[in-house]
């Protein structure tokens, strides 16, 4: 009991800060928006196909970015969790290094690479794979590429901790009982690493849904996501009510996705031991 009370006291300053500087302003803006315009801004959003298409684009880009980050990040995390090579420290530095560079700078770097006269088109033309430059910049593909580069370190770091906590003897036991390497991974490693997969996917999906700089710079003026629409409603249309409605709808979509993930995996997590390896 005393230990639990001490933990609560340690968490109290952070909880108060979040309540005062995050929850209270959000509730204030929501109450003010509803008080001035009622629910008209929210109804206008769901009755306009233009806004619904932007919401679907945001969800689609976020899901694709999350899926590709998981596919690319899982093998990397597994190798780093199991290897004893000195390259592990080098790889960790490479993974952490992007955190030292702004998302805006990284987006500008991809603009140099993916532009019509960028490095990628120059390389493909030089080796004869294409005759005309590819139109990659200012498309959804460019945004997804930028998102993956921006967020894949979060996926890898979420997975490494869980994979390192899995005892290698469990894999050896499965192999000694006649399981092939693929069966060992599918029936032992993957289920035990599910807590890391869930946390990594939730983190990457949430950050993708709320990303602004990458879609704005790599998607161009015609490509819109929810975060860019909030800024447009404020700076261009001067409609604070619509901006508030879009912000809360975005937050609700993220919370709904997280709720679906938690409810969809809770039974499986209990069967696997409650996610003790997380």
**Could you read off the pLDDT of 153-182 as tens digits, one per residue?**
999 999 998 998 888 888 888 888 888 888
Structure tokens at 125: 């033309």
The tens place of each residue's pLDDT in the chain, 278 residues long, gives 677 777 788 888 888 998 898 889 888 888 888 888 888 889 989 998 999 999 999 999 999 999 999 999 999 999 988 888 888 888 888 888 888 888 899 999 999 999 888 889 899 888 888 888 888 888 999 999 999 999 999 999 999 989 988 888 888 888 888 888 888 888 888 888 988 999 999 999 999 999 998 999 999 888 889 999 998 888 888 888 889 999 999 999 999 988 888 887 777 666 665 444 44
* DSSP result, 21-67: IIIHHHHHHHHHHHHHHTTHHHHHHHH-HHHHHHHHHHHHHHHHHHH
Could you give the C-alpha distances from 205 to 142, 143, 200, in angstroms and in order? 17, 14, 8
Rounded CA gap, 147 and 212, in Å?
10
Nearest to 110 by CA among 218, 208, 221, 220: 218
Nearest to 136 by CA among 157, 120, 147, 125: 120
Rounded CA gap, 246 and 229, in Å?
8
| pLDDT score for 73 | 94
Q: How many helices (H) does the chain have, and how many strands (E)?
A: 15, 0
Which secondary structure element, helix H or strand E, spans residue 166, and what is its range?
Answer: none
Which secondary structure element, helix H or strand E, spans residue 224, and what is its range?
Answer: none
Q: Where exactly are the structural domains of the chain?
A: 42-82+140-271
| pLDDT score for 140 | 92
Q: What is the SS3 assignment for 65-78?
A: HHHHHHHHHHHHHH
- Burial of residue 10 (CB within 10 Å: 0-12, 13-18, 19+) is exposed
Structure tokens at 184: 């060992």
| pLDDT score for 68 | 96
CATH, range 42-82+140-271 = 1.10.3720.10
Rounded CA gap, 256 and 250, in Å?
10
Question: Beta strands of 154-253 (E only): which ranges?
Answer: none
Nearest to 247 by CA among 84, 105, 42, 40: 42
**Could you read off the pLDDT of 103-152 as tens digits, one per residue?**
899 999 999 999 888 889 899 888 888 888 888 888 999 999 999 999 99
Cβ–Cβ < 8 Å for 98, 106: yes
């Amino acid at each position: 009991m005393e230990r639990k009370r001490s933990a609560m006291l340690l968490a109290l300053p952070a909880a108060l800060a979040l309540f005062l500087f995050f929850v209270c302003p959000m509730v204030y803006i929501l109450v003010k928006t509803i008080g001035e315009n009622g629910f008209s801004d929210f109804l206008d959003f769901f009755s306009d196909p233009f806004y619904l298409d932007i919401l679907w684009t945001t969800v689609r880009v976020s899901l694709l970015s999350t899926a590709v980050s998981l596919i690319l990040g899982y093998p990397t995390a597994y190798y780093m969790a199991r290897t004893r090579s000195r390259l592990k420290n080098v790889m960790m530095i490479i993974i952490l290094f992007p955190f030292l560079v702004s998302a805006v700078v990284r987006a500008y770097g991809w603009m140099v690479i993916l532009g019509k006269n960028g490095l990628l088109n120059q390389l493909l033309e030089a080796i004869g794979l294409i005759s005309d430059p590819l139109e990659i910049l200012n498309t959804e593909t460019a945004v997804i590429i930028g998102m993956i580069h921006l967020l894949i370190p979060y996926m890898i770091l979420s997975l490494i901790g869980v994979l390192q906590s899995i005892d290698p003897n469990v894999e050896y036991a499965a192999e000694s009982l006649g399981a092939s390497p693929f069966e060992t991974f599918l029936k032992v490693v993957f289920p035990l690493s599910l807590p890391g997969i869930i946390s990594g996917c939730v983190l990457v999906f949430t950050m993708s849904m709320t990303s602004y700089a990458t879609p704005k710079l790599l998607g161009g003026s015609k490509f819109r996501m929810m975060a860019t629409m909030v800024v447009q409603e404020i700076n261009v249309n001067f409609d604070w009510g619509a901006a508030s409605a879009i912000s809360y709808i975005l937050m609700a979509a993220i919370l709904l996705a997280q709720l679906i993930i938690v409810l969809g995996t809770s039974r499986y997590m209990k069967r696997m031991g409650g996610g003790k390896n997380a």
